[in-house]
Structure 1
Amino acid sequence: MDKTIPAAVAWAAGRFGDAPALIDPGQARWTFAELAEQVRTVARALTAAGAAPGDRVAIWAPNTARWVLAALGASCAGATLVPVDTRLSAPEAADVIGRSGAGVLIVTGPFLGRDRLAELRATGSPLPEIVISLAAWDELLDRAAGEPGAHTAGEPGIRTAEDAGIRAAAEPGIRAAAVAVMPDDVSDILFTSGTTGRSRGAMSTHRQSLGVATAWAEIAGLGPGDRHLMVNPFFSGFGLKAGLLACLVSGATIVPQAVFDPGRTLDLVETERISVLTGPPTLHLGLLDHPDRTGHDLSSLRLAVTEAAMLAPSLVTRIRDDLGCRTVLTAYGLTEAVVATMCRPGDDVRTVASTSGRAAAGFEVRIDRPGGEVLLRGPNLMLGYLDDPEATAAAIDADGWLHTGDVGRLDEHGNLTVTDRIKDMYVCGGFTVYPAEVERVLAGLPGVAEAAVIGVPDRRLGEIGKAFVVPRAGHGVAIVEVLQHCRAQLAGYKVPRTVELRAELPHDASGKVLKHLLRESR
């Protein structure tokens, strides 16, 4: 298989043929051969709409089969993919789309009570020349496939099938565009979450994106017969590369879920015979604590993968015993490096719970002394930040090491434990406190679903800890109980001075707690 996404689509069609590739639950299903044909239709539609090889195609939409088809179709048309976080406000999304230089925008129709296109227009920001609403998607593809169909008028200002004069582009032209894509061409620009400042666009090549996907699939043992429920958003590196592309290169089936709902997820696991489930610890806890869990047949589950600095060993055991996942793995990565370390099948509970595993996908990992910062170097490290050479130089040093901003340590087997973000550490009475250590202790308290700790100003000690605790569904947690639990397991200076109980915590797309919002709300 050549190291380009168009080549991977064609290779998968030949290798896996009639095996299921993509399932839109309750709607449609595609084999790998059918997926390749549909992707070519999307590429024709985009080309006929005016997209050209080298253009950037932004997608602002939730996880659906259409997202998969649009993304792969854009790649096969020779374009660069720009996924946009669905949690962004319209001004934030307009900023990302504008800075990306996207010439095409594919945007969802009304979703979860929001009309994102109307919101974008209301910002007054210039939109890409070509805007395609998913509301007009079926007609667009019908015309690209050369099929007659009733025309439904599009929204004003959108280049739909009729008002753009779209006609099917010649198949030889599409094949030529796909073949012209080179492994070292930029395949995608993923914008960072922007939790500590303005987001930046991390650029990766086709070779790198497929390298990450292949490494993840090989370690996880992903292959034909697996069905991967994609709750992790496709606009994130983990969802796109360790999800969508990993399935493509391994022959596993993609089953998208637009919004995480524990009851709906349990239904999908049962009806679609899901075998692979990835997401933050809150996802697994939501399933474990759902009152109808025991009424569902979850016997198809075999693998759970999560990203977290540290897990409570009891959670790993519950995922294995109560959800039936024989293998539970943790991994570490970031937008600039997607999957840098990963546990391996067969690792014991302690390794899975307290580390993020060993180097993966060709990465080297080392700890910078004396600061303890995690540094990464390898073939799948981003090329750099879009139009920001200064930020690129600040992140990647002259020897090619990415300075992650995370603090960690390596054990004698090379397993990485991320103890915190450099900016999350605080000093209490002259002693450094790593919130992740405190959070792990809190996670071990029965009745706690999630916890986050921040440092807050204190006149006497400089900073003191404040804990935000989310009780598990159906469990009560008293503040005094939380404090007593911490005092029994932590040095005095690490014990939070205050505790706030909350129904939920704010998260980014990867499930990471947005601590800057907690600091602003304290």
Structure 2
Amino acid sequence: MTGTLFIDGEEVPGPRLAEDAGALTRALSSAGAGPGHGVVLGRDDAYTAVLTALAAESLGSPVLCQGERWRRMGCTRRVAAVVAPGAGGGPTAVTAVADDGRPAFAETTHTLLYTSGSSGEPKAVELSRGAIDYHRHTVAAHAGVGPGDRMLVPMSLLNSYGWGVVQYWLAHGFALHVESRLSMDRVAGLLRGGAFTTLDGVGSMYAALLAAAREDRDLASALGGLRFRGCGGDVLPVSLVEGYVDVVGGPIHDGYGLSETVAWVTQSVPDDWRPGTVGPLVKGSSARIDPDTGEVHLRGPGLMDGYLDDPGANSDAFTGDGWLRTGDRGSLAGDGHLTIEGRIKESLVVHGETFPPRFVEDVMAACPAVREAAVVGVPTGKARGDRLVAFAVADPGHGGAALAQVRAALRDHLPVHLRPREIHLLDEFPRTRTDKPDRRALRSSVTAGETPGTAR
């Protein structure tokens, strides 16, 4: 049940979509794709991703997203073909992969996603058809997804978020508008001119749109007219959510999930949201907090089967009683609303105490001229712990104001030992594949002495 499809503003006619998907299905079948025999998405191209999803659905073939990771890491199971955009105007090109005797995937395997590797080597996440079906139906019902939606999605379709949206589209047949490149001016223009019901994106996109909406009533009205403003990728500052309530009349609907959970296990929705949380748990999913470490553990039908052929990583990923260790610190309210404080590995250690980066970042992000903030701890090897270094992206032309506001906010709202002594203003953050600020790259730039715009 597919709906209409738009790629970069151009509608793909239904007959053409059916013809191209049918041709790809036949080519993949000839190459040996089917249950247990995987198909690799070799390039990050929106139309190729949608066609491959349609063809693989017909054949029952697992899809390996993020083909560059597959090429670098290899695969221990049978891969039948690699799909890429076609040359000379053709929609796709199929390269068959010779059968080298590797065992097939489990017949229940639907998708392979690769972790970002931001906290170690990337791993192949094996997701079953049952996990995908839970996402398509139970998670979609929680978010209110239906055939009447008109969804604007300015992001890659090959990460867990984007691939999750494709699964929604396959199941519910709404109008899907994909923008293959994130341009704030273009997204704002589309919102002003189109009767979209939902927008999906990451925090940096929403921060930029909010800054524009403060000066543009038409954009603010368009954002306010959306039924759903979905967000994922990283922890949202409370001030950003509250800014949306003030300017557009409704919040960002934040959610939480991992590659290991298809996408979401919690989701804020229009009638159940709270600033500072990532929303209530989706029906069927459970969370608990490790009392010793504060780590969030998850359980439910949307979880991965495991990391493909990596028993050591699987042993580390799951507790003895079968809960997934997320690596994130958080808290859980009695009504199921989950708060995520950040990655445990990114915790700031100061005077023997541990603090989540958002403790400082939220103070910075609340400054009117600051669009985005990140704080990293640089180990000193001394008893006082990490040296805290702050980074901020300011609204264009407001760098001086942003710096003064951040200094004042840190002084007014944080104790001395939690005030970063260095503040770097950047035009933009280096980012991971899932569009989070790349904290490892930021920390490395400090240790290498390459960061620009330092203020002390």
Q: Which TM-score band applies after superposition, normalised by the shorter structure?
A: 0.7 to 0.9
**Residue deviations 1:385-440, cap 9 Å, x none?**
01101111110123110011111111232211111211111321222222121111
After TM superposition, the structure 1 = structure 2 runs for residues 89-238 of structure 1, keeping only pairs within 5 Å, are: 94-98=71-75, 102-108=79-85, 134-135=86-87, 138=90, 185-238=108-161
Matched, 1:444 2:396: no
Contact kept in structure 1, 2:38 and 2:78, CA below 8 Å: yes
Match of 2:222 in 1: 298
Are 1:21 and 1:35, in contact at CA under 8 Å, matched by a contact in 2? Answer: no
**Alignment partner of 1:336: what SS?**
helix
Task: Write out per-residue CA displacement over residues 362-394 of structure 1, whole angstroms, 9 at most, x where no aligned residue.
Answer: 211000111111000111110000110111111
2:427 maps to: 503
Counterpart residue type for residue 54 of structure 2: L
2:66 is aligned with 1:84: yes
Q: Corresponding residue for 1:174?
A: none
Distance, in Å, in 1 between the alignment partners of 2:284 and 2:51 is 29
Q: Aligned match of 1:424 in 346, 361, 372? A: 346
1:311 to 236, 241, 245: 236
Which of structures 1 and 2 has the bigger CA Rg? Answer: 1
2:386 pairs with 434, 458, 463, which one?
A: 463
Q: Which residue of 2 aligns with 1:406?
A: 328
In structure 1, what residue type is equivalent to 2:430?
Answer: P
Please report how far the alpha carbon of residue 267 of structure 1 lies from its aligned counterpart in structure 2 after TM superposition.
2.8
Alpha-carbon spacing, 1:71–1:232, altered in 2? closer, same or farther (3 Å): same
TM (norm. structure 1) is 0.76
Q: 1:340-379 to 2 correspondence within 5 Å? A: 340-347=265-272, 351=274, 353-379=275-301
Q: Could you tell me which residue of structure 2 aligns to residue 60 of structure 1?
A: 42
Q: Give the whole-Å Cα distance in 2 for the aligned partners of 1:421 and 1:309.
A: 10
What corresponds to 1:113 in structure 2? none
The question of whether the paired residues in 1 share the 8 Å contact of 2:364 and 2:406 is answered with yes
Q: Which amino acid aligns with 1:463?
A: D
What displacement does 1:42 show? 2.2
Q: Determine the structure 2 residue equivalent to 1:115.
A: none
Aligned length: 433
Partner Cα separation in structure 1 for residue 114 and residue 251 of structure 2: 31
User: Match of 1:69, as an amino acid?
Assistant: L
> Offset at 1:446?
1.1
Q: Take 2:95 and 2:230, find their aligned partners in 1: how far apart are those partners?
A: 41
Matched, 1:23 2:19: no
Give 1:469 shift: 0.9
Q: Which moved more, 1:443-452 or 1:33-42?
A: 33-42
Which of 251, 264, 267 does residue 186 from structure 2 map onto?
A: 264
Q: 1:407·1:422 contact (CA, 8 Å) conserved in 2?
A: yes
Tell me the distance in 2 between the aligned counterparts of 1:402 and 1:313: 27
Shift, 1:216, TM fit: 2.9
| Cα distance between partner residues in 1 of 2:108 and 2:22 | 19
Question: C-alpha separation between the residues in 2 aligned to 1:496 and 1:517?
Answer: 18
Once the two structures are overlaid, the 10-residue window that deviates more, 464-473 or 43-52, is 43-52
Percent identity between matched residues is 31
Work out whether residues 317 and 325 of structure 2, in 8 Å CA contact, stay in contact via their aligned partners in 1.
Answer: yes
The aligned counterpart of 2:407 is 483
Counterpart among 169, 175, 199 of residue 277 in structure 1: 199
Q: TM-score normalised to the size of structure 2?
A: 0.86
Q: Which moved more, 1:474-483 or 1:272-281?
A: 474-483
Question: Residues of 2 paired with 1:100 and 1:470: CA distance?
Answer: 43
2:198–2:228 contact (8 Å) kept in structure 1: yes
Secondary structure, aligned partner of 1:103: strand
SS at match of 2:252: strand
318 and 35 in structure 1: CA distance in 2 versus 1, 3 angstrom threshold: farther
CA distance 1:223–1:35, change in 2 (3 Å): farther
Deviations 1:487-519 (A, max 9, x none): 211232222122111111112232222111111
Q: Is the 8 A contact 1:431 1:493 kept in 2?
A: no
* Amino acid across the alignment from 2:123: R
SS at match of 2:288: strand
Instruction: Measure the CA separation in 2 of the matches of 1:43 and 1:95.
Output: 26
Q: How far has the Cα of 1:301 moved from its partner?
A: 2.7
Q: Note the C-alpha offset of 1:63.
A: 4.6
Counterparts of 2:145 and 2:121, CA distance in 1: 35
- For 1:521 and 1:37, the matched residues in 2 are separated by 49
Cα distance change on mapping 1:252 and 1:323 into 2, 3 Å? farther
Q: CA deviation at 1:105?
A: 1.4
Runs of 5+ consecutive residues of structure 1 not aligned to the other structure: 1-11, 14-19, 109-133, 141-153, 165-181
CA distance 1:308–1:98, change in 2 (3 Å):
closer
Q: Give the C-alpha shift of residue 313 in structure 1.
A: 3.9
- The separation in 1 between residues aligned to 2:241 and 2:91, in whole angstroms, is 47
Please say if residues 100 and 201 of structure 1, whose CA atoms lie closer than 8 Å, have aligned partners that are also in contact: no
